[in-house]
């Protein structure tokens, strides 16, 4: 037999003593309904007004004109339809708040029966286990999503393989947001917002609606941003109406969507996934504009005092990247400056997105899945424009030069995006003709670097895909000798980072070393801390250790050890 409860609450349980009183007065049951009856004398001649909250839905007002407890149960059952359609009135009992005995169904609710916030009602539904209540539109929608593999819908890192091009490379505002989180200089009013916002969001809220309303008020007061609830029609066949907690539009474009839970672990759905699902519904509702722009948007989740930020954008799929830290708004005052930097960065990013959406630039459909960067500086003075053609690796692309290139400039080049790269080291490799020529190098928002190099052609294959022989081995070893002769090391010289073009006619092989992220002067560059321990390396090649030429030679030995003709 399942138990469902309605608890009448009217005041704010803001203090710890109030929370304890609330916990003691409401013993744990399976599902909660919270309601509040106004502080009035009840009589059979007056209309009684009751506020009822069921599950994770919003409070609704129940008008009660009956005379006894059974009439009250009928009124609540009717108002909460269809949620209680499967529950017989005989299975519902009422009791005074904090009391163990049930009220008699025939008890007359008259002047002798008073209901205040301190003497509230409990509604216990003794429904059979087979009687499962119908879900709210929000909950039903989330249940339907569970039947779908999430990585087929979104690139949101759940599972880890569900990831695409980082959002910072799909719109500049996201990269600038990350930079501002550490570099921005807050002002006095920014610190004041952090104090007020953190204090307010650290309070206990009985309903998510109350917390969401307070959130909207503070954003309006300090950021001059008008957030509102927006109704979205679900794209399923059930005609579900989905209502957001707080949303900002600039024209028809969503700038930010906020999903709120009154406290951590309340509700029946994952607020992070729920927020992404709302963004998906927004895209489906505006499918005509998804072909023109990537629709960048911030997704915020507020669960009690916890505050998380994600960036969402539409390219090949919906891509969502969570900000790496969940902000705890009930933290020590000594950490408030860290929060202030993030809030300032968020405010500036929202203003920038609003400005962007006033007249968003059109994006060609075939360019939508690719990064937003479409030009680079050649020789630090000529701006060369390009279009993406092919994706070679997750963040390596073949692009076609389309405008403003110097005379005799190649039609195709390779563009790579990375966090760690040394321009001077690449130029040193290129000078030795053991790496493709470097055409451009730029720093981008979000800590990214763009490397533009020569496209050596499709005749070159990665060594991993080549049939190895003694001539290829000799050519690779000669390139390694030239590299080490200049005091340079690669550090990641696996067969997937070596390009080879083999000529059967004269048994010659052209070789290039690529992926120079770790390369540098021997004895000065180190292996990164996130080095993959599952890949075969020299026993001294460990996270944080210095890179030496012996490590490169060991990897080359591993590459050719199975080649019979190489011995």
Q: Give me the DSSP letters along 57-99.
A: S--EEEEE--SBHHHHHHHHHHHTTTTTTTS-GGGEEEEETT-
**In a domain? residue 132:** no
Angle (CA) 51-53-57 rounded to 5° is 135
Composition of the chain by helix, strand, coil, percent to 5: 30, 25, 40
CA distance linking residue 503 with residue 508, whole number of Å: 5
Phi, psi of 338 (to 5 degrees): -65, -40
123 and 154 co-located in one domain = no
Core vs surface per residue 369-391: b (16+ CB within 10 A) or e: bbbbbbbbebeeeeebebebeee
d(CA 316, CA 293): 12
Please work out, in degrees rounded to the nearest 5, the angle formed at the alpha carbon of residue 406 by the alpha carbons of 402 and 408: 90
What distance in Å separates the CA atoms of residue 147 and residue 342, rounded to the nearest whole number?
A: 36
Residues 44 and 123 in one domain: yes
Answer whether 328's CB lies under 8 Å from 308's CB: no
User: Around Cβ 147, how many Cβ atoms within 10 Å?
Assistant: 6
- Is residue 514 domain-shared with residue 416, that is, in the same domain? no
Q: Enter the pTM of the model.
A: 0.73
- Reported as a single tens digit per residue, the pLDDT across 420-442 is 999 999 999 999 999 999 999 99
DSSP string, 349-382: HHHHHHHHHHSPPP--GGGTTS-S--EEEETTTE
Q: Which of 411, 414, 393 is nearest to 403 (CA)?
A: 411
> What does the alpha-carbon distance between residue 53 and residue 200 come to, in Å, rounded to a whole number?
22
The confidence score (pLDDT) of residue 38 equals: 36
3-state secondary structure of 70: helix
Residue 528, domain member (yes or no): yes
Q: Domain check: are 175 and 271 in the same one?
A: yes
Q: Are 370 and 397 in contact (CB under 8 A)?
A: yes
Residue at token pair 């017989």: 88
pLDDT tens digit sequence for 230-288: 887 655 555 567 889 999 999 999 999 999 998 877 666 788 988 998 999 899 888 88
Residues 445 and 465 in one domain: no
Same domain for 467 and 444: no
Report CA dihedral (351, 355, 361, 366) to the nearest 10 degrees. Answer: 20
Q: How far apart are CA 312 and CA 552, in angstroms?
A: 40
* Same structural domain, 395 and 444: yes
Beta strands in 289-370 (DSSP E): 297-303, 306-314, 318-322, 327-328
Residues 197 and 332 reside in one and the same domain = yes
Share of the chain above pLDDT 90, in %: 52
Residues 271 and 192 in one domain: yes
| Token representation of residue 411 | 């039609």
Q: Using CA atoms, how far apart are residues 64 and 123, in angstroms rounded to an integer? A: 15
Asked, for residue 524, whether it belongs to a domain, the answer is yes
User: What pairing do the DSSP bridges indicate for beta strands 114-115 and 297-303?
Assistant: unpaired
Q: At what angle do helices 336-358 and 172-183 cross, to 10 degrees?
A: 150
In a domain, 273, yes or no: yes
Tell me the two tokens of residue 490: 């690669």
- Structural domain tally of the chain? 4
Neighbouring residues of 502: CB distance < 8 A, sequence distance ≥ 6: 466, 469, 471, 472, 508, 509
Q: What is the dihedral of CA 159, 164, 170, 174, to 10 degrees?
A: 30
Q: Determine the Cα–Cα distance for residues 375 and 383; give it in Å rounded to an integer.
A: 6
Instruction: Please tell me the predicted confidence (pLDDT) of residue 140.
Output: 54
205 and 272 assigned to the same domain: yes
pLDDT given at position 480 = 96
- Please identify, among 103, 127, 151, the residue that sits at the C-terminal boundary of a domain: 127
Asked if residue 262 is part of any domain, the answer here is yes
End-to-end CA distance of the chain: 76
> Is 135 a member of any domain?
no
Q: Which of 330, 358, 386 is the last residue of a domain?
A: 358
Q: Residue 542 belongs to what domain range?
A: 461-566
Question: Is the same domain home to 406 and 439?
Answer: yes
| CA-based max dimension of the chain | 107
Is residue 455 domain-resident?
no
Cis peptide before 82 (omega within 30 of 0): yes
> What's phi and psi for 139, nearest 5 deg?
-65, -40
Pairing relation of β-strands 241-243 and 231-233?
A: antiparallel
Q: What is the mean pLDDT of the chain?
A: 81
Domain annotation covers residue 367? no
Query: What stretches in the chain show pLDDT beneath 70?
Result: 1-61, 81-83, 86, 93-100, 103, 109-153, 233-240, 266-268, 567
Rounded-to-integer distance, Cα 66 and Cα 230, Å = 36
DSSP codes of every residue in 446-461: TTEEEEEEE---TT-E
Per-residue pLDDT tens digits for 492-546: 999 999 999 998 888 899 999 999 999 999 999 999 999 998 899 999 999 999 9
The domain boundary residue, chosen from 325, 358, 391: 358
Give the residue carrying structure tokens 């927006």. 230
Q: Are 120 and 168 in the same domain?
A: no
Q: Could you tell me how many helices (H) and strands (E) the chain has, helices first?
A: 12, 28
């Amino acid at each position: 037999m399942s138990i469902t409860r309605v608890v009448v609450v009217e005041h704010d349980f803001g203090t710890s003593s109030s929370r304890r009183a609330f916990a003691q007065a409401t013993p744990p049951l399976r599902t909660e309904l919270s309601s509040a009856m106004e502080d009035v004398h009840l009589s059979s001649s007056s209309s009684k007004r009751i506020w009822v909250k069921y599950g994770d839905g919003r409070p609704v007002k129940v008008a009660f004109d009956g005379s006894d407890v059974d009439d009250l149960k009928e009124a609540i059952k009717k108002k909460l339809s269809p949620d209680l359609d499967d529950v017989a009135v005989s299975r519902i009992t009422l009791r005074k708040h904090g009391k163990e005995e049930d009220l008699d169904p025939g008890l007359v609710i008259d002047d002798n029966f008073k209901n205040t916030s301190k003497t509230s009602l409990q509604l216990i539904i003794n429904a059979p286990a087979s009687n499962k209540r119908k879900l709210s539109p929000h909950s039903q929608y989330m249940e339907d999503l569970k039947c779908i593999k999430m990585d087929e819908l979104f690139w949101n890192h759940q599972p880890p393989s569900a990831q695409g091009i980082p959002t910072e490379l799909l719109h500049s505002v996201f990269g600038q947001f990350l930079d501002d989180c550490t570099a921005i200089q807050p002002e006095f009013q920014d610190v004041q917002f952090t104090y007020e916002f953190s204090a307010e969001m650290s309070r206990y809220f009985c309903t998510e609606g109350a917390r969401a309303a307070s959130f909207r008020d503070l954003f309006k007061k300090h950021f001059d941003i008008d957030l509102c609830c927006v109704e979205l029609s679900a794209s399923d066949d059930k005609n579900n109406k989905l209502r957001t907690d707080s949303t900002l539009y600039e024209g028809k474009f969503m700038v930010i969507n906020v999903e709120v839970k009154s406290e951590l672990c309340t509700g029946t759905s994952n607020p992070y996934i729920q927020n992404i699902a709302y963004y998906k519904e927004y895209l489906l509702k505006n499918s005509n504009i998804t072909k023109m722009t990537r629709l960048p948007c911030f997704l915020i989740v507020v669960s009690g005092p916890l505050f998380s930020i994600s960036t969402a954008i539409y390219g090949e799929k919906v891509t969502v990247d969570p900000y790496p830290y969940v902000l705890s708004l009930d933290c020590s005052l000594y950490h408030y400056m860290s929060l202030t930097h993030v809030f300032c960065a968020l405010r500036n990013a929202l203003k920038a997105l609003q400005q962007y959406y006033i007249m968003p630039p059109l994006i060609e459909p075939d360019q939508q899945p690719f990064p937003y960067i479409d030009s680079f500086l050649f020789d630090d003075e000529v701006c060369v424009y390009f279009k993406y053609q092919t994706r070679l690796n997750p963040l390596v692309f073949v692009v076609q030069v389309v405008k403003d290139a110097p005379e005799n400039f190649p039609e195709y080049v390779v563009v790579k995006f990375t966090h760690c790269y040394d321009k001077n080291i690449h130029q040193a490799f290129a000078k030795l003709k053991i790496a493709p020529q470097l055409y451009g190098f730029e720093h981008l928002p979000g800590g990214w670097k763009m490397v533009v190099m020569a496209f050596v052609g499709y005749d070159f294959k990665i060594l991993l895909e080549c049939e190895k022989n003694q001539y290829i081995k000799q050519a690779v070893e000669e390139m390694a000798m030239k590299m080490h002769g200049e005091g340079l090391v690669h550090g990641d010289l696996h067969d997937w980072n070596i390009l080879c073009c083999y000529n059967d006619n004269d048994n010659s092989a052209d070789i290039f070393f690529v992926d120079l992220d770790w390369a540098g002067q021997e004895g000065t560059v180190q292996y990164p801390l996130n080095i993959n321990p599952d890949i075969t390396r020299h026993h001294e090649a460990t996270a944080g250790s210095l890179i030496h030429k012996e490590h490169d030679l060991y990897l080359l030995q591993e590459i050719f050890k199975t080649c019979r003709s190489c011995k």
